[in-house]
Every structure is written in C-alpha cells, then in structure tokens.
Amino acid sequence: MSGAGNGARRVVVTGIGCVTPVGTGVEGLWAGLKARRSAVRAITRFDAAPFRSRIAAELPDFRPQDFLDARGSRRLDRYSQLAVVAARLALADADLALAREDRERVGVMMGSALGGVAFAETQAAVYAAEGLRGLDPSLALSVFGGAASCNIAIAFGATGPNATNAMSCASGAIAVGDAFHAIRDGRADVMLAGGAEAPLAPLCYGAFALIRAMSTRNDDPASASRPFDAERDGFVMGEGSAVLVLEERGRALARGAPVVAELLGAAANNDAHHMTAPYPDGSRAARCITLALEDAHLAPAEVDYVNAHGSSTPLNDKTETLAIRRAFGEHAGRLAVSGTKGYYGHPLGASGAIEAAITALALARGWLPPTLNLRRRDPECDLDYLDGEGASRRPRVALSNSFGFGGVNAALVLARAD
C-alpha cells in the first residue's frame, strides 16, 4: 500500500464520539450495529398524520443533562447539544485533555444540512402565539449552522481553525475531509470533526415529505430503509451526531493515544446537474472517488471495503453503483460494500460523520456491518453488498461515500492502523 506520500504529515483517528438511534458512544454504536436491528419507528416527536411519510429514526433516550451541566442543557438547542455531547465523548475516547494542549493548534470542523432550523421552527410557533416576548433569547445564537463548531470550540477552548459547512447530506464527510487537510497541511495538530443534525420537526420533515423523497413504508417502519433493495422507495429521516478526534500521527503515538484508524485521503466535488437528482451515469461521483484515492496516493485495487452512502432512494443507489463501477473498474466486483442507513435512517448532514466512524471501527475491529433489509437485490445494483450477518474480515483500506442534494459528492479514504 502506497498511502500518504510525498512526506506529508500523517493523520490518525484517535477518538470517536457519537449519539445515534442505535447507540451512544463507541461501544453503544458498535453494540447496535452487531445487534443488526433497525431503529426506525413511527414518529413520536410530533403529529405526522398530515404527511405521506410518518416514520423516522429518533434518538430513543437522549438526555442532554446526562452529559452537560444545567446551563449547557438550557442554553443550547438540540442541534448544538448533539454536537457538543459527541465532541465530549470523542475527547474522552481519545483520552485527550485539551487543557494540556496548545489550543491554538486545535480546531473544529463540523457539518449540518439544517443546523438549528428545527429549533427556529418551534420558536416561530411561540412567536405566533405569544409575540416577541415569548421567544427564547438563545434563538439568534442557535439557528445558524456555525453554532455546532462554535459551541464545541467554546466548550473545550479550541481556538484553531473553525467552520461548519452546510453542504447537505455530504456535510459531515466534508468536515472530516477539511479537518484532515488542515492537519496534513500543517495548519493544526488536533481537529474535532464531524456532523450533527436535529431535523425532526413538522416543517423540516414535511418539506422532504412534500418532494416525495422519503419512504412511505409506514406499516413496516423497521424495513423502510433498505439500501440497494429492489423495493426501496425513499430515505428515512434520522437524527444524531458523530465527532472524530483527528491528530497528527507522530504526536498521537508520542502521547500513547489509542489509534483507531488512519485517514489517507479526502475529496469533494459537484455534479452541477440538478438539485435532487444525481448525474445519471455516476461519472461525477466516480470522479470524486478517484480524487480521494489520488489524494491518498492509492490505486483503486488497494481498496478492500466501501461504506456506501446508500440512501435507499431509487436514483441514488443505482447511481452510486455506477459510480463505484466506473471508479474501480474490474476491481469493483471484488469490493465488499455495506450501506448502513438501514440501521439509523438518514441523519442528513451527520450521516457522513457517523459512517466515517463506522468505517474506522470496522477497520479496527475486523467486522463489516451488513446492509439491513436487503431482501431482493435490484439488478441495477450489482455489487457485493453485504447482508445477513455482515462479514468478519480484516480490510486494509476502506472508502466512505457521502452524497447530497445539490449534487454534492464527498469521499474519505481510511486505512487500518499499522
């Protein structure tokens, strides 16, 4: 394996923090994956009766007060709570105390499709009922997407590079890629990177229901998210967050950090085609994969496993298959591929970060999760999609794909820690 070339600084994942519908924290997430059960249920957060779709992957037991002090729980909306809690869990997993670090060399990169829009939606109802005096004073500080990275920075004193991108469902992966490049290029030594999404409110949910992007398998929610299955009928909205601690490899090893995986490359581009439909032949997404491999100084044949975006929409899954075949050529048939959104739905901008975390853990622990609900394979989705029990394998290199509305494509290349 060629890996990071030209004497570039190497970047490793030393900690993972996550809040997902299938589990919180590394062990909670891993146990949820091993259980091979979907977290999709009928919506309880609000009355979904007006919508064609009435299911979601909600967080079943998230209590911010379990992780944050009373002020933090009260001051932050759900979106920022999820971001800060995931960062706290990631730092604990990395055994990293930022108080002992040069915090000008510690940064934060986050991604979110909607940011605090759902909180603004609830406040709009308050305003209609009570007027200006009824509004939560934190509204102006919560609604913008950058609240995620800024609140993490404030919570942990990280004064280095800081940004939250809003590039739809590829946001989390783009954030991880940007953080990777910041360390590799010498602009930082430690980065907290990931995504957070809290979209389960009537207007946010209804907007996606209106364009018929979501599954209507309301009578059988656990089987609704079914990537690459012939009977898939749309994605299932979810919520959650994930943050990865990325460090320059030499300093991580020097402090005895628990290295989970190494990041080798990242890329992003755009279809420049349509706001909801991917470029039909998959060539733009394929180009993104190729750019990520070039960034990692790897040949396509060196990749063993792909954690697919696999949104469970008719167009995306077919196009992603075309993209993988185009990017990998004849090697595509030898790749093991998983689409893991059957577990936790599609938490929009957080999904790429959650899937990067899953990919890193799969490399470290030697088990590749299955594609849940893959019962009748679509003839147009003809790769080696893992189903059933998953697979006990020790891949050396993996690719994690993320694609989003607006034609956004992102790809991350990770390797097992050596």
- Count other Cβ atoms within 10 Å, centred on residue 111: 38
Q: Dump pLDDT digits (tens) for 261-297.
A: 999 999 999 999 999 999 999 999 999 999 999 999 9
Q: What is the residue whose two structure tokens read 């167009």?
A: 315
Buried b (16+ CB within 10 A) or exposed e, 183-198: bbeeebbbbbbbbbbb
Q: Which helix (H) or strand (E) holds 32?
A: helix 25-35
Asked if pLDDT for residue 156 goes beyond 60, the answer is: yes
* pLDDT of the residue at 418: 82
Tell me if 403 sits within 8 A of 311, measured CB to CB: yes
Answer yes or no: are the C-beta atoms of 57 and 45 closer than 8 Å.
no
Q: In this prediction, what percent of the chain has a pLDDT beyond 90?
A: 95
pLDDT at residue 74 is higher than 90? no
Write the class of the CATH domain 11-254.
alpha beta
Residue 406 has pLDDT above 90, yes or no: yes
Residue bearing the bigger pLDDT, 340 or 99: 340
* Residue where the block lists tokens 């060539």: 283
pLDDT at 5: 57
Strand 397-404 relative to strand 305-308, pairing: parallel
- Per-residue confidence at 375, pLDDT binned at 50, 70, 90? very high
Supply the Cα-derived Rg of the chain in whole angstroms.
Answer: 20
Superfamily grouping for domain 265-416: Thiolase/Chalcone synthase (3.40.47.10)
- Cα separation of 157 and 334, whole Å? 45
Domain with CATH 3.40.47.10 in the chain: 11-254, 265-416
Per residue in 352-363, pLDDT (tens digit) is 999 999 999 999
Instruction: State yes or no: pLDDT of 7 exceeds 80.
Output: no
The predicted model gives 206-215 an average pLDDT of 96
Rounded Cα gap, residues 264 and 187, in angstroms: 17
* Mean pLDDT of all residues in 322-350: 98
Residues 393-413 have a mean pLDDT of 98
In this prediction the pTM is 0.97
pLDDT of residue 2: 52
DSSP string covering 322-385, please? HHHHHHHGGGGGG-EEEETHHHH-B-GGGHHHHHHHHHHHHHHHT-BPP-TT--SB-TT--SEE
Is 120 within 8 Å of 57 (Cβ atoms)? Answer: no
- Locate 129 and state its tokens: 């009922």
Phi, psi (5° rounding) for residue 30? -65, -40
The answer, yes or no, to whether residue 257 has pLDDT greater than 70, is yes
Output the average pLDDT for the chain: 96
User: Contact 325/377 with Cβ under 8 angstroms?
Assistant: no
> Which residues are designated catalytic?
169, 309, 346
Structure tokens at 399: 């690719």
Q: What is the mean pLDDT of residues 61-81?
A: 92
d(Cα 30, Cα 170) in Å, to the nearest integer?
Answer: 23
Q: What percent of the chain stands above pLDDT 70?
A: 98
| Residues whose CB is less than 8 angstroms from the CB of residue 242 and which lie 6 or more positions away in sequence, other chains included | 16, 17, 18, 19, 20, 86, 172, 194, 195, 350, 353, 354, 356, 357
The reported pLDDT for the residue numbered 311 is 98
Q: Which residues contact 361 (CB under 8 A, 6 or more apart)?
A: 16, 26, 29, 30, 260
Looking at residue 4, its pLDDT comes to: 58
Is residue 104 within a helix (H) or strand (E), and if so which, with residue range? none
**Distance, CA of 417 to CA of 407 (rounded, Å):** 32
